[in-house]
Amino acid sequence: MDRDIAANLDEGAELLRAAEPAITERFAALARRLRSHEWTVLVSGLCSVGKSSVVCALWGDAELLPTAVRDCTQTNTLIRVPAADELDRRIFLNYLDRRAAENFALRGLAFHRLTEMLEEYHGVAMPRLDEMLPDARLRFVAADARKLYASRRDLSVLNEPLSEELEQLEQFIAFLDSEEYQPGARIEAKWEERREHLMGKRLLDGRLAGTGKLMALEHVEIVRESEWNSCGSLRSPAAGGTPAVQTPVLIDTPWIPTVHNARREDLILERARGADVLLVLSLPKLYEPENWLLKILVERPELARSTVVLFNQIDTCDPRTLFSRDGFAGIYAENRERLVKLGIDPANILLACARLRFLKDSQQSDAAGAETKNPFGAASIAERIARLEKVLGQLREQAKGRGESELRSKFLAACDVNDAGVETLRRRLEELAAGIVAKRREAEALGAMIEAAPVGLAAENAAAWGKLRGKILKMKVGQ
């Protein structure tokens, strides 16, 4: 049906080309999207829920994203497969314009904490920051905090954690003043330096450096081949077994500790407004929806039907109390009730131990001579895999001993050492793309043609448009 709708969009665009260029442009964009079958999955989760491991496991590349216990990605990361004429393993930095970058910095934790310190020190003598332009506000706080530290050695001790915040703010200001910063530009960077562009650089003394300039990024774009469609997911019966759903664009969102998650929320909402599927990760415990998710489900209530909640790291569940009211079974029941109230389909609540798949991919990458050797070493990886498989085996035995239930089947999939829930997740994402997302796009295209009210059409075109619109109305009724 999408081909028929795309053809009708083309016909409508041709009829309205002279009289309605804005409508013509929208029709053309909707037709391109229907034909491309492109879809986006926005991935979000709090710190240490295994988000990067899930993304790497889905993509089939353990080296795709840097993973670290302490460090966090600082901006949105857009991951896609190369275009037909594009090279593999490329990374692009997409910068914000200057005013947007300054406003992001003003909403960050570094600026807030330094401002709090200065207000406490100056009292009523503190200048009115809200009367300053963004650039002047940032520069005043950075300069005044540095001056205060220089004159009051005791503050360096009492407020030692703020030294990193001050360095970050100073780095950001210096970067905006440098030739390296190109507002609104898309710049290619070195593939092997992608960790620094996503997380900053961890120094030998444990400090994180280089995060200041990352605040000027809108997003980082990673171009990498994927094994997504070689994993036996949804496939067309057509000759050659071409995948019915192509590899999506994944958007890995940041975890930035900020005041009320302000800057992080802005970054996620910006991308969620155009996403087709939301993939929200949580640890296997009571789940509290983040504010950004509640906001986007109000803005786009239709997204609830294509929102997947994945309880990752299922290996951390206690097998002794697994199916008791006080164990994970009780937690799952409560989480299920909360999520259903948000409009989320229980079929979209899944379990996984993506770390196992990630470690196995790491093991294979090392064996194949990966460009970046795993820092844990081959022996350590094998030991961790064995330990995880043993834990999952214990959990699986507990689940097998229970009667048939929704939770039991999901647990068995997550505890399968060959799957660990990753293939189950991939299949569900593809089902949503081929079903709900495709129908949503068709409905949007049909709605756009029905709602269009062109004026000034030539008599011949007006008659043709009326006939076409009648055909579209019948297609809409038949949906």
- For the chain, domains (ranges, CATH) are 1-81+252-479 (3.40.50.300), 95-223 (no CATH)
Q: Any bridge partners for residue 350, and if so which?
A: 310
CA angle 46, 423, 361 (to 5 degrees): 75
Q: What does the pLDDT read at residue 469?
A: 87
* CB 250, CB 41: distance < 8 Å: yes
Tell me how crowded residue 29 is: count the other CB atoms within 10 A of its CB: 14
Q: E strand or H helix at 424, and its extent?
A: helix 422-432
CA dist list (Å): 463 to 255, 304, 473? 55, 40, 16
Burial of residue 245 (CB within 10 Å: 0-12, 13-18, 19+) is buried
State the DSSP code for 214.
G
Q: What does the pLDDT read at residue 235?
A: 45
SS3 per-residue string spanning 300-325: CHHHHHHEEEEECCHHHCCCCCCCCC
β-pair type (277-282, 307-311)? parallel
* CB 248, CB 40: distance < 8 Å: yes
CA dist list (Å): 335 to 203, 289, 432? 40, 10, 21
Distance from C-alpha of 267 to C-alpha of 255, rounded to nearest angstrom: 10
* CB 95, CB 181: distance < 8 Å: yes
The single-letter code of the amino acid at 81 is V
Q: What does the pLDDT read at residue 371?
A: 54
CA dist list (Å): 107 to 44, 112, 265, 279? 20, 7, 10, 25
Distance from C-alpha of 384 to C-alpha of 8, rounded to nearest angstrom: 56
Distance from C-alpha of 248 to C-alpha of 277, rounded to nearest angstrom: 10
**Helix (H, G, I), strand (E, B), or coil: what is residue 402?**
coil
Distance from C-alpha of 100 to C-alpha of 290, rounded to nearest angstrom: 24
Angle (deg, nearest 10), helices 406-415 and 422-432: 120
CA dist list (Å): 201 to 195, 213, 271? 8, 12, 26
Angle (deg, nearest 10), helices 438-451 and 459-477: 140
Q: What does the pLDDT read at residue 212?
A: 87
Q: What does the pLDDT read at residue 242?
A: 44
Beta strand extents in 133-287 (DSSP E only) = 186-189, 201-202, 208-209, 217-223, 249-252, 277-282
pLDDT by residue for the chain (479 residues), tens only, comes to: 667 899 999 999 998 888 888 999 999 999 988 888 889 999 999 888 999 899 999 999 998 987 654 556 778 899 999 998 999 999 999 999 999 999 988 988 889 889 988 998 899 999 999 999 999 999 999 999 999 888 876 665 444 557 888 988 999 999 999 999 999 999 999 999 888 888 877 666 656 677 889 889 999 999 999 988 655 445 444 434 444 578 999 999 987 655 545 677 888 998 999 999 999 999 999 999 999 999 999 999 999 999 999 999 999 999 888 888 889 999 999 999 999 999 999 999 999 999 999 999 888 876 655 555 555 567 789 999 999 999 999 999 998 888 899 999 999 999 999 889 999 999 999 999 999 999 999 999 999 999 988 888 888 888 999 899 888 888 876 66
Structure tokens at 460: 């011949």
Residue that is written with structure tokens 């992080």 in the block: 264
Distance from C-alpha of 416 to C-alpha of 423, rounded to nearest angstrom: 10
120-170 pLDDT, tens digit per residue, is 889 999 999 999 999 999 999 999 999 988 887 666 544 455 788 898 899
CA dist list (Å): 193 to 65, 126, 127, 222, 299? 11, 41, 41, 12, 37
Distance from C-alpha of 352 to C-alpha of 357, rounded to nearest angstrom: 10
* CB 220, CB 75: distance < 8 Å: yes
Q: Could you give phi then psi for residue 257, rounded to 5 degrees?
A: -70, 110
156-162-167-173 Cα dihedral, nearest 10 degrees: -120
**Helix (H, G, I), strand (E, B), or coil: what is residue 80?**
strand
β-pair type (201-202, 349-351)? unpaired
Q: Could you give phi then psi for residue 126, rounded to 5 degrees?
A: -65, 125
Distance from C-alpha of 43 to C-alpha of 39, rounded to nearest angstrom: 13
Tell me how crowded residue 215 is: count the other CB atoms within 10 A of its CB: 25
